[in-house]
Structure 1
Amino acid sequence: MGTLPSRGVSVQPLIRAATLDGYLELATALGLDGPALLAQVGLALADLQDPTSWLPAKRAVRLLDLSAKLSARPDFAVLLGDRRRLATLGPISIAVREEPDLRHVLQVLTDHVVTYNEALRMHLDESEGTATVRLWLELGVPAPLWQATTFAVAALNGVIRAGADDAWRPLGAHFPYSAPADVSAYRNAFGPGVHFDQPFAGLTLRTRDLANPNRLSDPLLRPYARQFLETAVARRGPSVTTRVTELVELLLISGHCSLTAVAKALQVDPRTLRRHLAAEGTTFTAIVDDTRAAMAERHLGSGGQPLTEIAYLLGFDTPAAFSRWFKHRFGMTARDWRKVSRG
C-alpha cells in the first residue's frame, strides 16, 4: 500500500451526503440550529435526506468548522466521528465489512477513497514495527480544515474499531494543531495516545495489528462482496497520468524531477511518454503543476513547516520562485492560505 493516491476526481471535490450522518442530532444536542447552519454554508435539509447524493466538500468542511465555533466545542468533529456507521462509506462498506483483516480493510479504504470522499487522501507507511496512516484533504480552495481533518481521523478510527476487538485503541492519534483545553473526548475515542502539534494528521498502530482479524467478516460472503465492489466501483489499473503523478511527487522532493527522469523510471523514451499523456488529455508540465498544488495544500494545511522548507519540497530553487508560482496558481499568498486553513 505504498502507492500514493491519485489526484482529485472533480474540479470541485464532492463527498457523499452519508458522511454527515448524525450531524443534525449532534447539533441539536449541543444547542445549535442545524438547519440554519446548513443554510449558512449553502446546504439544505434535503441535501442530507438521500445518503447516496453528493455534496460539495468545501461546504461540509465549513459546516464542521462553524458548528465547532458556535457550540464552543473544539472536539465537535470527534463527537460526530463517534456517531459514524460503517454504512456511511457507501458501496465499499460491503467490501470493508467482509475483508479478512485490518491490512485488507485499509487497502480497500485507500484504493477506493474517492467513492465516498473525493477530497480525502490516505497513505499507509510501515517502518520498524509501526504502521502510520496519514490523512489530509485537498479542496483546491482555502478553507478551515482542522475540524474536517479531525473528523476524517475519528471516522477511520471508528471503522477500524468496528472490526477489531472492543478494547482496541490505536498506538497514537496525531493532530496538527494545539490541544484544546478539554481533551476528554479525544481520549475516549482514541485512548491515551493522543498527540497534538504533530506534523501530520492520522493514526499510528503496531504493524502486527494489521494482521488482526476482522470480526465482522464472513468468509463465505467475501467472494460476493469483492465481486460487488468490482462491479459497483469499476476498478481499473492505474493510468499513465496516475503513474507519472506518483513519480513526480517523489522526484520533486528529491530535486531531480524532469520528463527525462520520469520516462527513464517508466522505461520509455520521453517522446513516447508525451504521446501517452496527450492521449489522456494532459501534459507533463500540467501534471507537475497540479502535483505541486496538491503538495502545497497538504503541507500548508498541516503542521508548521516554514514556507522556505515547503518551497524546496516542491522543487523550487528559491522561496521567491515558490511565492510567485503560488500567487499565480491560487490568487493569494501561501501565508494567507495558511491563515485561512487554520481557521
Structure 2
Amino acid sequence: MKPLVRNAALSSYVELGQSVGIDPRALMKRVGLDPVGLAAQDRWVSGDAVTRLLELAAATARREDFGLLLAERRRFANLGPISLVLREEPDVRSALALLVRHERMYNEMLRSRLTEAAGLATVRVGLELGEFHESRQAVELAVGTFIGFLREFLGPRWQPVSVCFTHAAPRDLTTHRRLLGPVVEFDREFTGIVLYASELDTPNKLSDPLLRDYARQYFESLAVTTDTTELDRVRELIEVLLPTGRCSVEQVAGSLGVDRRTVHRHLATTGETFSGLVNATRTQLAEQLVANPSRSLTEISGLLGFSAPSAFSRWFREQFGTSARDWRARHAAGADPSAD
C-alpha cells in the first residue's frame, strides 16, 4: 500500500486554514480525508492525500508559505511517543540521529539522512510519495519541522548555516526567512538543512540521566511493534470511521490511498473480510461502551455507526444473545453478562 502518515501531520491544519480564509474541512473531504478523524493524532492516513491537501490549501488560500506556516505551529509532542525519548537524549547529535533512524514511526513518506563533512552537518530531507505529483508544501512542512526540532535544543535564536530546496523560490520570501533563517536557497541539488557539526555536540539541558534508560526501554518496546500491517491499519480506520456513520470499504480505501479492491485483496490474504472486521470491531467496542452506565444506549448506537437504535438493538441481541439493557444489568451486578 502507499505510505501513510500520522494524523498529527495535520495538527493545527484546521486553525491555520481558517486563519487564511479557507474552508479546511471541505478541502479535506475533496481529497478523501475525514475531518472527524483529526482528533485521533496517532491514527494513520494516506500520505498521498495529505500531500494533495496541503497543495490544495496553499492554492486556495494563495499562500505559497502554507506548509511553513503549519510547521511553525508544530509542537514537540506532535512527533508522538518518540518525543519522550528524544527529550532524554544527552546531546543534539544523539537526538537527531534517533529521529532520523526511526522516522517511519511517525511518517512513512519521510526519507531523511544526517551526514557530516568538513565541519558541517547536513540533514537531507526527501519524500517518497509512491507516485509523482507536486509536493512543495509537504516538503517545506518537513524541513520547517526539522528546524523547529533543532531549535528545541539549540534555542529559539539559533539559525542554520543555510536551508536548501530543489524547487523554485516563491514570489515572497518573508515567511521563509523569518522561520528558516536569512540564508534560504532554491533550485539547489538537494533539499535539506546545513549547520555547524560542532552544534551537534550541544548538551541537552532537558535530559535527566536517571530517566534516560527508562525512556529508551519504553521506546524500544514500542519500536518492536511499529511494523503495522495492512490489517492493523484497516482496523484502526474502522474504529475511527464508525462514529461518523460513514464506515465503508470505500472510505477506508480512500484514507489508505488505494482502491476498494486492493483493500479486499489484502484482507483476503489474512483470511479476513471487511464486513467481518467491522463486526468484530463493533463487538469489542460494544462490550466496553455498554459496560459504562454513563453512556446511554442511544449514544452507543451512534458511536457504533448504526443508523437507528433499533438496528443496534437487533444487532446486539444477535451477537450477545441478550438485550443490551439486560447485558448491562448483569455486568453491573457482577455476573457474567454472556451467561444464560
Superposed displacement of residue 125, structure 1? 1.3
Q: What is the CA–CA distance in structure 1 between the aligned matches of 2:157 and 2:202, rounded to whole Å?
A: 13
1:153 corresponds in structure 2 to 143
Cα offset for 1:235?
8.1
1:226 to 202, 208, 216: 216
Which ranges in structure 2 are unaligned for 5 or more consecutive residues?
227-340
Aligned to 1:198: 188
Aligned-partner residue type, residue 143 of structure 1 = H
Corresponding position: 1:189 with 2:162: no
Tell me how far 1:101 sits from its aligned partner: 1.1
Q: For the Cα contact (< 8 Å) 1:57–1:139, is it kept in 2? A: yes
Change (3 A) 1:45 1:235: closer
Match of 1:29 among 19, 31, 42: 19
* Aligned residue identity for 1:23: Y
Q: Which amino acid aligns with 1:153?
A: V
The 1-side partners of 2:7 and 2:146 are apart by: 17
- 5 Å-filtered alignment, 1:24-103, equals 24-103=14-93
Q: For 1:87-106, what per-residue CA distance to the aligned partner results, in whole angstroms no more than 9, with x for missing partners?
A: 11111111111111111111
Matches of 1:165 and 1:119, distance apart in 2: 28
Tell me, yes or no, if the aligned pair for 1:64 and 1:147 is still in contact at 8 Å: yes
Query: What corresponds to 2:96 in structure 1?
Result: 106
Consecutive aligned runs of 4 or more in structure 1 exceeding 4 Å deviation = none
Same amino acid, percent of matched pairs: 43
Asked if structure 2 preserves the Cα contact closer than 8 Å seen for 1:47 and 1:55, the reply is no
Q: Deviations over 1:12-49 (max 9, x none)?
A: 11100011101000000000101101001100112211
- Segments of structure 1 that go 5 or more residues without pairing to the other structure are 1-10, 237-343
Count of aligned pairs between the two proteins? 226
Q: Distance in 1 between matches of 2:59 and 2:222?
A: 38
Specify the SS of the correspondent of 2:140.
helix
TM norm structure 2: 0.65
Give 1:171's match in structure 2, choosing from 161, 165, 177.
161
Q: Secondary structure at the match of 2:195?
A: strand
> Which amino acid in the other structure matches residue 73 of structure 1?
R
In the TM superposition, what whole-angstrom CA distance separates every residue of 1:224-256 from its partner, at most 9, and x where no partner exists?
1111111111289xxxxxxxxxxxxxxxxxxxx
Q: Confirm whether residue 180 of structure 1 aligns to residue 170 of structure 2.
A: yes
1:150–1:201 CA contact under 8 A, matched in 2: no
Residue 220 of structure 1, CA deviation? 2.3
Contact 1:77 1:150 in 2 (8 A): yes
Task: Output aligned runs, 1:266-305, within 5 Å.
Answer: none
Q: Deviation at 1:217? A: 2.0
Q: Distance in 2 between matches of 1:218 and 1:163?
A: 14
Q: Deviation of residue 190 (structure 1)?
A: 1.4
The letter of the residue matching 1:50 is A
Q: For 1:252-286, what per-residue CA distance to the aligned partner results, in whole angstroms no more than 9, with x for missing partners?
A: xxxxxxxxxxxxxxxxxxxxxxxxxxxxxxxxxxx
- Measured after TM superposition, the shift of residue 156 of structure 1 is 0.8
Q: What's the secondary structure of 2:53's corresponding residue? A: helix
Partner of 2:274: none
Query: Distance in 2 between the 1:117 and 1:137 partners?
Result: 10
In the alignment, the residues of structure 2 paired with residue 105 and residue 205 of structure 1 have an alpha-carbon distance, to the nearest angstrom, of 15
By how many angstroms is 1:197 displaced? 1.1
Q: Does 1:124 align with 2:105?
A: no
Distance 1:170 1:87 in 2: 23
**Which whole-Å CA distance do the structure 1 matches of 2:67 and 2:204 have between them?**
26
Corresponding residue of 1:319: none
Q: Is the 8 A contact 1:67 1:76 kept in 2?
A: yes
- Look at both structures and tell me which one has the larger radius of gyration over its CA atoms: 2
RMSD: 1.3
Give the TM-score normalised by structure 1: 0.64
Structure 1 residue identity aligned to 2:188? Q
Secondary structure of the structure 2 residue equivalent to 1:31? coil
Letter in 1 for 2:67: A
Name 1:210's counterpart in structure 2: 200
Alignment check: 8 A CA contact 1:15 1:117 kept = yes
